[in-house]
Structure 1
Amino acid sequence: MGRRPSSAPQMGWNSWDSFGTTVTEGEVLANARFLAERLAPAGWDTVVVDIQWYEPTARAGGYNDDAPLLLDADGVQVPAPGRFPSSAGGAGFGPLAGQVHDLGLRFGIHVMRGIPRRAVDADLPVPGTPYRTGDIADRASTCPWNSDNYGLDHAHPGAQAWLDLQIDRFVGWGVDFLKVDDMLAPYHADAIEALALAVARAEERHGREVTISLSPGTHLSLAHLDHLRRHADLWRISDDLWDRWDDVEAQLTRTARWAPHQGEEGWADADMLPLGRIGVRAERGAPRDSLLTVDERRTMLSLWCLARSPLFVGGDLPTSDGGTIADLANTDVLDVGRHSAGSRELLREGDLVVWGAEGAGPCAGVRWAGLFNTGTETLHARVPAASAGLPAPSPHDVSSLRCGTSRGPRESGSVTDLWTGEEVRLVPGSSETGGDAVIDVEIPPHGARLLRVQPK
């Protein structure tokens, strides 16, 4: 069994960085409407309700022990009506998913691996089987940071039946995206396979395509790549990432390891973008605008796009600053993630890290280079164009662009900074560069220059 190909990494909004376990229906819809109006034209198309939508006493800054999860008669989670009033009367997320779909967007939810402990303690019948929920739980398999669930005993025939029921119910509500947590650290191969089977059955029953996203990615090894590609659409490659430079810088190494393996068979996910207004009622930190500087934000977006990571912004979009929204809507930058191939790290010397990528599809012939400064001082970088994967420019012939049209035409072969729209002049080479033209730029502390060369 394999997942269906996806030509580009997924893009959307997730409630976690802003609202933690406490997001409300009104907040989800406000962000969905903003996404549809301001960011969907740039390719952002999914809205995800993160963890504990079924916990009526959920609070900011942590999880409650022995939380009074809301379950239906089969032990399947249902939305807390105090936060999701349209779910009342057994409607589940159907009404909310319908409103998100009406905006032209996809709807996603978060769920933990396994089965709720309260369902196990109640020893409920598993419909269509002679088994009960107390029979199918693996009580020794628990999440170290959330106590809501036990694992499922996937050697027991009743476990798949209950999981099929749970996933079918979610997909029946109109769920298009499932973020399933506590799957990768440690690596639960049996749970991943069972999930993929349950999703495939629900897709066939409901005629709906569902994206499978796995978390978290703590110490995730490339040894699992083939298995992940067969059973998931995207998978995290780190623990939770927040608005700290150290978190962003650490992803340079992780994404360099995974970037050569990105493609339509599945996407390594560098985690959510903690940008804009975050921490409103979040798991970590007080309400704030992201603590990343503008340069750090652009480094993050440049790296995520060069690495072809999925993009899920975590800020509350309606209250986020205009600069952040403009950067998220920069289609010249987003083209790198959506229409590139062969992306990789090319050079790492001191504070300088250089990435390169080639255009594909509508961007065929384009070349991109990312020059990153991990240091705390402005860096004067002189990099031979060939070392950044860029051909020498030829200042001839103005052509209309097939790729990167948001700032108008550029000279064929010219080098453009995608954050400023300015043309970057290359300087003549020397004997030290073998005659190669040289990119000669200043890069601010923790900043990036994301460069594009148009096809000749």
Structure 2
Amino acid sequence: MARRPSPAPPLGWNSWDSYGTTVTEEEVLANARFLAEHLAPAGWDTVVVDIQWYEPTARAGGYNEAAPLLLDADGVQVPVPARFPSSAGGAGFAPLAAAVNDLGLKLGIHVMRGIPRRAVEADLPVPGTPYRTGEIADRASVCPWNSDNYGLDHAHPGAQAWLDLQIDRFVGWGVTFLKVDDMLAPYHADAVEALALAVSRAEGRHGREVTISLSPGTHLSLAHLEHLRRHADLWRVSDDLWDRWDDTEAQFARMARWAPHQGEQGWADADMLPLGRIGLRAERGEPRDSLLTTDERRTMLSLWNLARSPLFVGGDLPTSDAATVRDLGNTEVLDVGRHSAGGRELLREGDLVVWGASGAGPRAGVRWAGLFNTGASSLVARVPAASAGLADLAGLAGLAQGSLLDLWTGEEVALVTGAAETGGDAVVDVEIPPHGVRLLRTTTPR
């Protein structure tokens, strides 16, 4: 069994960076409406309700031990009506999914690996089988940071039956994006395979395509690449990322390792974008505008797109600053993630890191280069065009007298030719601000 091809990484909004475990239906819909109006034209199309939408005592800044999760008669999680009023009466997320779909968007939800401990302790019957929830759990397989679930014993036939039931319930509501946590650190191959099987069966029953996103990817090894491609659509390659420069800088090395393997068979995910207004009721920090500077934000967006990472913004969009929203909707930058191939690190010298990518499909013939300054002071970079992945610049159609376009500023960047240190080859000669980027395109897309 293999997942169907996905032509480009997904783009969307996720509630975690702003609301942690406490997001409400009203807040989800406010962000969905904003996304539909301001960012959907640029390709953003998914809205994800993150962890513990089934926890009536959820709070900002952590998890409650032995939380009284809200479950149905089969032990499957259901939304808390106090936070999601439309779920009352057993409706689940179906009304919310319908409202999001009416905006032209998709609804996603977060769920933990395994089965709720409360369902196991209640020893409920597993419908359609002679088994009970008390016998299908692996009580030794637990998440180190969240106590909601036990793992499933995938050697037991009742485990797949219960997982099929759970996933069918979610997909039946209209959920078409599943972010499944505690899957990759350590790597739970049996759980990954069982999830993919359950999703495939639910897709067949309901006639909906579902995206599988796996988290978190602490020290995730490329040794799992082929297994991931067969059973998931995207997978995290790091722990949670926050609005700190060190978190952003650390992704350069991770994505240099994963970017050469990006493609329609699946997407390595550099994690959510903590941009805009975040921390309203989140796990970390007080309410704030993202602590990343404008240059750091553009570095993040440039790297994520050159590496073809999925993009999920975590800021509360209606209260985020206009400059951040404009950057998120920069279609010239988003084209890099959507229509490129071969994105990779090309050069690393001191604080200078250079990435390049080639256009594909409707952007064939285009070349992009990201010149990054990871240092705390401005950097003047003189980079041979060939080293920036921009070889044969002078011969590319659409160049304005051998110039490049900076996709963030809209400015043309002239090439220096005849440089002695490069034997007369063309040189990109630019100043890069601290923690900043010059994201350059060689020619106008066709």
TM-score bracket, normalised by the shorter chain, equals over 0.9
* Structure 2 counterpart of 1:215, one-letter code: S
* Structure 2 counterpart of 1:449, one-letter code: R
Please give the per-residue CA displacement for 1:31-82, whole angstroms capped at 9, x wherever unaligned. 0000000000000000000000000110000000010000000000000000
Kept in 2: contact 1:8–1:264 (CA 8 A):
yes
Q: Aligned-pair distance for 1:186?
A: 0.2
Q: Aligned-pair distance for 1:455?
A: 6.5
Aligned to 2:157: 157
Q: Aligned-pair distance for 1:109?
A: 0.1
Is residue 279 of structure 1 aligned with residue 279 of structure 2? yes
Q: Aligned-pair distance for 1:428?
A: 1.6
CA distance in 2, matches of 1:61, 1:27: 18
* Structure 1 counterpart of 2:412, one-letter code: E
Q: Aligned-pair distance for 1:392?
A: 4.3
* Structure 2 counterpart of 1:180, one-letter code: V
Q: Aligned-pair distance for 1:112?
A: 0.0
CA distance in 2, matches of 1:268, 1:382: 31
Partner secondary structure for residue 357 of structure 2 = strand
CA distance in 2, matches of 1:20, 1:327: 24
Please give the per-residue CA displacement for 1:279-333, whole angstroms capped at 9, x wherever unaligned. 0000111000000000000000000000000000000000000000000000000
Is residue 449 of structure 1 aligned with residue 438 of structure 2? yes
Aligned to 1:356: 356
* Structure 2 counterpart of 1:312, one-letter code: F
Q: Aligned-pair distance for 1:389?
A: 0.7
Kept in 2: contact 1:109–1:177 (CA 8 A):
yes
Aligned to 1:94: 94
CA distance in 1, matches of 2:88, 2:188: 34
Q: Residue 61 and residue 15 in structure 1: after superposition, are their counterparts in 2 closer, same or farther (change >3 A)?
A: same
* Structure 2 counterpart of 1:245, one-letter code: W
Gapped regions of structure 2 (runs ≥ 5): none
Report 1:298-309 matches (<5 A): 298-309=298-309
Aligned to 2:427: 438
CA distance in 1, matches of 2:143, 2:395: 59
Aligned to 1:34: 34
Is residue 425 of structure 1 aligned with residue 395 of structure 2? no
CA distance in 2, matches of 1:165, 1:412: 62
CA distance in 1, matches of 2:320, 2:231: 35
Kept in 1: contact 2:403–2:415 (CA 8 A):
no
Report 1:1-400 matches (<5 A): 1-394=1-394
Partner secondary structure for residue 411 of structure 1 = coil
Kept in 1: contact 2:402–2:415 (CA 8 A):
no
Partner secondary structure for residue 32 of structure 1 = helix
Kept in 2: contact 1:395–1:411 (CA 8 A):
no
Q: Aligned-pair distance for 1:434?
A: 2.3
CA distance in 2, matches of 1:160, 1:392: 56
Kept in 1: contact 2:306–2:336 (CA 8 A):
yes
CA distance in 1, matches of 2:326, 2:132: 52
Partner secondary structure for residue 180 of structure 1 = strand
Please, what TM-score do these two structures have when normalized by structure 1? 0.96
Kept in 2: contact 1:15–1:28 (CA 8 A):
yes
CA distance in 2, matches of 1:395, 1:236: 39
Q: Which moved more, 1:334-343 or 1:420-429?
A: 420-429
Partner secondary structure for residue 412 of structure 2 = coil
CA distance in 2, matches of 1:396, 1:20: 48
Aligned to 1:403: none
CA distance in 1, matches of 2:358, 2:383: 18
CA distance in 1, matches of 2:237, 2:401: 37
CA distance in 2, matches of 1:143, 1:287: 28
Q: Residue 455 and residue 329 in structure 1: after superposition, are their counterparts in 2 closer, same or farther (change >3 A)?
A: closer
CA distance in 1, matches of 2:396, 2:310: 36
CA distance in 2, matches of 1:345, 1:48: 31
Partner secondary structure for residue 387 of structure 2 = helix
Q: Aligned-pair distance for 1:175?
A: 0.4
Number of aligned residues: 445
Kept in 2: contact 1:113–1:183 (CA 8 A):
yes
Q: Residue 337 and residue 396 in structure 1: after superposition, are their counterparts in 2 closer, same or farther (change >3 A)?
A: closer
Q: Which moved more, 1:179-188 or 1:430-439?
A: 430-439
Please give the per-residue CA displacement for 1:168-201, whole angstroms capped at 9, x wherever unaligned. 0000000010000000000000000000000000
Please give the per-residue CA displacement for 1:126-161, whole angstroms capped at 9, x wherever unaligned. 000000000000000000000000000000000000
Q: Residue 413 and residue 178 in structure 1: after superposition, are their counterparts in 2 closer, same or farther (change >3 A)?
A: farther
Aligned to 1:406: none
Gapped regions of structure 1 (runs ≥ 5): 400-409
Kept in 2: contact 1:139–1:150 (CA 8 A):
yes
State the identity %. 84
* Structure 2 counterpart of 1:433, one-letter code: T
Kept in 2: contact 1:111–1:179 (CA 8 A):
yes
Kept in 2: contact 1:392–1:413 (CA 8 A):
no
CA distance in 1, matches of 2:402, 2:152: 57
CA distance in 1, matches of 2:416, 2:187: 50
Q: Aligned-pair distance for 1:435?
A: 1.4
Q: Aligned-pair distance for 1:394?
A: 3.7
Q: Which moved more, 1:14-23 or 1:446-455?
A: 446-455
CA distance in 2, matches of 1:185, 1:335: 32
Please, what TM-score do these two structures have when normalized by structure 2? 0.98
Q: Which moved more, 1:281-290 or 1:386-395?
A: 386-395
CA distance in 2, matches of 1:196, 1:273: 26
Kept in 2: contact 1:392–1:436 (CA 8 A):
no
Please give the per-residue CA displacement for 1:2-30, whole angstroms capped at 9, x wherever unaligned. 00101100000000000000000000000
* Structure 2 counterpart of 1:443, one-letter code: I
Kept in 2: contact 1:56–1:70 (CA 8 A):
yes
Partner secondary structure for residue 424 of structure 1 = strand
* Structure 1 counterpart of 2:419, one-letter code: S
